[in-house]
Chain A
Amino acid sequence: MERCKFKKRLSYYLADELSIAEKAILDNHLSDCPNCRQELANLQAEEDLVRDFLSEYQSEEISRDLQDKILSIPTRVSAKPKFYDFAIKFSIAASMIISFGLGVLISSSLFNEEEIVFSEESLVDIEQLYSYGGE
């Protein structure tokens, strides 16, 4: 049996989620289509059963104690000032830049020392030392 193209819209119809124009089209279709009428009746029965079952639920009150706890949240949390977030981020960034700068300074000074130790003059001195030792 061919599936009716309106079948998918029946749940929208039941939930009153169709526009006036769409509803009129579907009303018109329902008067001609027994399959859709049957499907709608099934959906309606399901809806009634669920509504009837859920209607027995009795709302439960929030205790005074819990209410007070929730409404005291602002005083306890006290609107986390954005300044502190900024200050923390700024100090982390600053310390990273300072450590990087210090690292560069230290490494460059070490490199310079090596140059002094192995400069040409000192190599000549070492060669002379060796030559004296040899004699």
Chain B
Amino acid sequence: MKKRLEELFAQEGQKVFNYLRKILRSQEDAEDILQETFAAVYSKLATIEDAALPSYLFRTAYHKALNRIRQRKKDAQYNLSLQQPELLKSVEEQAEPTAQNAEIRAALAELSAKYASLIELKYFQDKSYREIAVTLDMTESAVDSGLVRARAKLKKIILKRRKSAELLSVKNEVRNKNGKM
């Protein structure tokens, strides 16, 4: 049993971790959920066939991540009601290893968890519609229409972020010029 868990971890652990990092953005939350996911899958390991394990693992991670996001929203509302802004330290403020990763996470965070998961499975894990449908418990046509909408929304987000980055760089240039004069 332990060997099976080790194989599953070697094969899928990194993928699931990167997915959780993108969808949750926080390193700490991603690590927590990864542990919880493997613990949950381990308890069912004897009842799941090898071929179905990766989908089951990803689905478990997806549902646990959704719960964590919901919990975060509740906590944020609670903290707001207590008027303790220092407790509302944004996940965005946490250290990011690369600027590109931070940018991609920020863009994906503007999508719903379902759309972000569709994007993850299609563009990061190169899954087919059929595999995505099995993993997220959807029909293939729902995967297609979901991906069309997710892509269109992500395009808008990317363009909006690029525009505001350009505006910011122009502002900084003007400020620098004024400072030199």
Determine which of A50, A62, A77, A80 lies in contact with B17 in the assembled complex, contact meaning CB atoms within 8 Å.
A62
Known contacts A11-B147, A60-B21; A73/B39 CB under 8 A: yes
Q: Do B148 and A74 have beta carbons less than 8 Å apart?
A: no
Q: Is the interface of A mostly helix, strand, loop or mixed?
A: helix
What count of chain B residues pass the 8 Å CB interface test? Answer: 40
Interface segment out of the listed B66-74, B76-84, B96-104, B168-176:
B96-104
Majority-rule SS of B interface residues = helix
> Do A56 and B144 have beta carbons less than 8 Å apart?
no
Contacts of A79 in B (CB 8 A): 1
Please, how many angstroms separate the alpha-carbon atoms of A77 and B45 in the complex?
Answer: 13
Please give, as numbers and ranges, the residues of chain B lying within 8 Å of A61 by CB-CB distance: 14
Residues on B with C-beta less than 8 A from A56 are 100-101, 103-104
Task: Please tell me which one of the listed residues A17, A43, A58, A66 contacts residue B31 in the complex, with CB atoms under 8 A apart.
Answer: A66
Q: Are A74 and B5 in contact (CB under 8 A)?
A: yes
- For residue A57, CB closer than 8 A to chain B, the reply is yes
Q: Which residue of B lies closest to A54 (CB)?
A: B123
Which A11-67 residues have a C-beta within 8 angstroms of B? 11-12, 15, 17, 43, 46-47, 49-51, 53-54, 56-63, 66-67
Known A-B contacts A46-B151, A74-B1; the reply to A57 vs B101 at CB < 8 A is yes
- Decide if B136 is an interface residue (CB 8 Å cutoff): no
In the complex, A79 Cα to B39 Cα: how many Å?
11
Interface residues on A, range: 20 to 34
- Are B35's CB and A70's CB within 8 A? yes
- For A75, the chain B residues whose CB sits under 8 A away are 2
**Closest residue of chain B to A17, judged by CB?**
B129
Asked if A106 is at the interface of the complex by the 8 Å CB criterion, the answer is: no
**Minimum distance in angstroms from B100 CB to a CB of chain A:** 4
Once the chains are docked, how many angstroms separate the CA of A43 from the CA of B149? 11
**Of A15, A47, A58, A66, which is within 8 A of B35 by CB?**
A66
CB pair A59–B18 under 8 Å, yes or no, is yes
Residues of A within 8 A of B22 (CB): 57
A77 to chain B, nearest CB (A): 6
- B154:A50 contact, CB within 8 angstroms: yes
- What are 16 of the A-B contact pairs (CB < 8 Å)? A11-B144, A12-B129, A15-B147, A17-B129, A49-B155, A49-B158, A50-B154, A54-B104, A56-B104, A57-B104, A67-B9, A70-B9, A70-B13, A70-B38, A71-B5, A73-B5
Extra 5 A-B pairs, beta carbons < 8 Å, given A53-B158, A56-B100, A69-B35: A17-B129, A46-B151, A51-B123, A60-B21, A70-B34
